Structure 1
Amino acid sequence: MEPAAYAAESGRQGARTAHGASGRGSLSLAHRLLPGRGAGEPGHDRRSGRREIHPFNPDTALWKWRILDRAGGQLRVETVILRRNHILTILNLAGEAGVEISELAAAGATPLRLLKLTTAADRRQTFWRRVNAGLAATVVLLALGAAGTAYQQRASAYEALDARVTQAKTRALRLRKAQADAEAQFETNALLQREKARSPSLAGVWNALSETLPSGVWLTEMQISGRSGRISGFADSAAPLIEKLETLDQLSGVSFVSPVTMNPDDRSERFDISFTLETNDG
């Protein structure tokens, strides 16, 4: 394998060369980074199969490879190897030259990247990316908190409104029931008033009896229950009383409840008469 040329490429953003100018730079180290193996260097013992430390194992070197072509059924591969102590040398030389390295790549028409390094610009970019992410997360949290607060306020307002609507419905039902009870009571009172107006009053019946019955009649009892009435007492002659009571417009169905009896002391007749009160239908 022919020796490969190695280069240390400076960072693209804000990297400075030894002269302080901004841009990309390279350090040519081909004559120093691929020494031949000395007679005393350790290698690989094929007979024992034991792996020994030599310049090109994962502990001491870094390598990359790529396929160049597959012509003729054969595979051509380009391999670039760089010892790890050379990487330290490159970084030290870059530091002395004031160059900040962002990556190590093999020089050529198509560079092959060996190692990506973190520069101050990368660290600043990462820092600001995290700051922006934190700010964005804070804004999102604040927005969510505001939305949650607004939602909670709306939910509380809806609950309060629902409670007021429920109370209003309850009051409306109570008022409706009270109105229905009042209307029913009014109808009952009106019915009673109509019945009272249709039925003769007790005073009216008493006045009519007083004016109609002869002076020799005195009453011992008068009962009025609804439209039914009854009078008891004594008279010089009880038989004419039925005819006189029938002349009253307020009475109908006048009749003796029991036979007339004679009082042996004063020869007066005891009577017991029933009647029906007529309504005042106009």
Structure 2
Amino acid sequence: MAFDAGNLSLFGLDLGRGWRTLRQGWSDALDWPLFRWFRPVVPVRVQLPDGSTQWRAGASARATPPAKENSIQAVLLPDDLVLFRDLVCPDLVLSDLQQAVALQAREHSPFGADELVWGWRASEREDGCQDVRLALCSRAHVEKYLLSLDQTAAGSQEIWADLGLPIVIAGFGEARRERACARQRIGMVFSVALLVLMLLSLVAMPFLLKRAQVFDAQARHVLLVNETAQVVADREALLKAMARVNAVKAQLRGQVDLPAVLEALTRIFPDTAFLNRFEVSGDRVRIGGFADNAAALVETLGAQAGFRDVRTPSAISRRSDGKESFSVEFIYRNEKNAVAVQ
């Protein structure tokens, strides 16, 4: 299916009309007091038929102070060169209203199509309709009037009718004012956008500062981790070595110092006593043997330093040769070695 650039419709909906309606809504919003300041106003120097001049704020009835010399110029046509016609139109969007007014201008014009120049102004009524005032002129009459005023630059001035509420006759110098308004509007939009951007920047500044602080802290943390990596590794190695030392100490504390036990028993036992059993289980020592007086030997053994929990698990018995058989269990703790291990 071929695409028709002039027919913006989709599933029977006129998209072009929707866009025109949206533009009309924005244009009407500019008349609200809240947004009226957003409508740019260009000073216009209006030359009246009697030779005097007035300064107007755009094509309106509002006066404005004089501006610079190269300002917008307008010429007010005498009433005898203009045909006025008042119309009542329904509430239409701007493009539809302009087409309706153009049709009325062609139907009621006494001038030919090539000679007709016209303009219009609309105002809302209380009943929802619009009052339209239509101004019709002859191009030849307008150009003759400009020559009578010695206006050599006949294409640079705007042509107005009805000074009270001016009607701009299209096709002359109004494009210059429209371009000036467009430039001012762009400047206003840019200024508002810049102001909004500045406000957003002020609102976002604390967040951005906090974000920068977080990133800086993260960078410092990474740098600190890199700088202390060797120290941390050394500390972990030291902790592992200390864990091994503590394990060895615990092992030593839980075992009997055999050389010390044998030395102590050799020192305590008389020459007439001897052992035939020597067992070690953890920190407990079991010995067995023969002595002339086993009871006295066990009592002497319990009185010695380092021997704890001394007991005889079985009764002392006497052999035929007069020796007494004994069995003794005890816990031996060498105090000197214990201090050294701790």
Q: TM-score, normalised by structure 2?
A: 0.40
Q: Which protein shows a greater Rg? A: 1
